[in-house]
Amino acid sequence: MSTMADLQDGRGFSLVKTLYEWVREEHARHMEEERDPNVIYVTDLVYCPLKRGFRLEFPELSFTFKPIHVTGSLLHLGLASLLKDQGFEIEKSLEKVFDVSGRQVRVKGRVDAYRPDLIIEFKTGRPGQQLPHDHHALQLRAYLDLAGVDEGLLAYVTLDRIVEFRVGREEGLVERLLEQHLNRTRAPLWEWECRSCAFSEYCPLRNY
């Protein structure tokens, strides 16, 4: 059996370290993508507009390595591989350019599973929750609008439920969310958001 001393010396394989490096690299890649001010992600549009600025200023504050998040990411990989065999395109990138008062802004998103007639978004999380969450449905509706697809499936796999919800397209939604985001007309976007925000201790608009 490897001891902590072995691991500290760099001897012996560590799955914990491997998972940690995977999460850290994913976080670094995402931070790098966020640096272009003319690129906005759908995930930015469906949460508080102040968070992106905080993430860029204080990148280490948004990094977490929690078992609940790692298991969620691993479950995503498993579901993606299952749906790939069913003919879905996995992790498909979407993007569209919007003109906002003369400024060209590229909105990007990456959907879990795509077919020209259906987009599937998977979610995991803690048991005992009221589902679906409004912010998840908003995110999927934004993907549908961006891709021009009429139907979406919001699928939850948690420890106590495996359940799916049909979500319809709302035309013009991304443009409305983009204007709201750039003008910062609603911060936070959701009443509960500040309580789970990594930046709440430094934010003047915290609501609790």
Least distance to ligand SF4, CB of residue 194, Å? 3
203 binds ligand SF4 (CB under 6 A): yes
Nearer to ligand SF4, 65 or 190 (CB): 190
Closest CA to 95 of 136, 40, 141: 40
Q: Does 45 bind ligand SF4 (CB under 6 A)?
A: no
Strand partners, 103: 100
Applying CB under 6 A, the span of 34-42, 47-55, 127-135, 143-151 interacting with ligand SF4 comes to: 47-55
- Residue from 48, 79, 113, 167 binding ligand SF4 (CB under 6 A): 48
**Which amino acid, residue 83?**
L
Confirm or reject binding of residue 188 to ligand SF4 (CB under 6 A).
yes
Is residue 90 within the footprint of ligand SF4 (CB under 6 A)? no
Q: How far is the CB of 64 from ligand SF4 (least distance, A)?
A: 15
Contacts of 181-189 spanning 24+ positions with Cβ under 8 A: 181/40, 181/44, 181/45, 181/49, 182/40, 182/49, 182/100, 182/105, 184/49, 184/50, 186/48, 186/49, 187/48, 187/49, 187/50, 188/47, 188/48, 188/50, 189/46, 189/47, 189/48, 189/49, 189/135
Task: Give the range of 86-94, 118-126, 147-155, 189-197 binding ligand SF4 by CB under 6 A.
Answer: 189-197
Single residue of 44, 45, 46, 51 touching ligand SF4 by CB under 6 A? 51
**According to the binding rule CB under 6 A, does residue 194 interact with ligand SF4?**
yes
What 8-state DSSP symbol labels residue 88? P
If one asks whether residue 205 binds ligand SF4 (CB under 6 A), the answer comes out as yes
Instruction: Identify which range of 58-66, 105-113, 136-144, 188-196 contacts ligand SF4 by CB under 6 A.
Output: 188-196
50 part of the interface to ligand SF4, by CB under 6 A = yes
Helices 134-147 and 173-183: crossing angle, nearest 10°? 120
Q: Least distance from C-beta 99 to ligand SF4, angstroms?
A: 27
Q: Which of 159, 148, 98 has the alpha carbon at shortest distance from 126?
A: 159
Spatial separation of the C-alpha atoms in residues 112 and 177, rounded to whole Å: 21
Contacts with ligand SF4 by CB under 6 A lie at: 48, 50-51, 54, 187-188, 193-194, 197, 199-200, 203, 205-206
